[in-house]
Amino acid sequence: MDIVSDIVADRHVLVLHGAFDVRSTWEVRNAIYECIDGLDDDVVIDMTDVSTIDVTALRLLAVATRHAWLAGHHLTVRNPGPAVRRMVHLARLAHAIEVERVAATA
């Protein structure tokens, strides 16, 4: 799992690459909480290049979303692929993870 951190237009963007699973949750957790606690910005997790995800990683995102909300910020997931979206629904965490809405193309 590679994590690239960047600040774009009032938001701190974490770009994840590879498999997001139990082996990488600690690294991702530290990066997310560092952004939430250390900065005064909202956080976006770009998951365009995430190939697989497991329930442990989804629970991390759900808890981090709540932590950000309690701190007065937003944590949003951007561009989750079909496999990631399916796991979110199978894990019944769709209500706990905020996914960025994308405008429909004609």
- From first to last of its 106 residues, what are the pLDDT tens digits of the chain? 555 544 454 568 888 888 888 988 898 898 888 888 877 778 899 998 888 899 999 999 999 999 999 988 889 999 998 888 999 999 999 999 999 876 555 5
Of the chain, the end-to-end C-alpha distance in Å amounts to 34
Evaluated on CA atoms 77, 96, 22, 11, the torsion sign reads positive
- To which H or E segment does residue 98 belong? none
List, in sequence order, every residue forming a beta bridge with 23; answer none if it has no partner. Answer: none
- Give the distance, in angstroms, between the CA of residue 48 and the centroid of all CA atoms in the same chain: 11
Rounded Cα distance between 76 and 2, Å, is 19
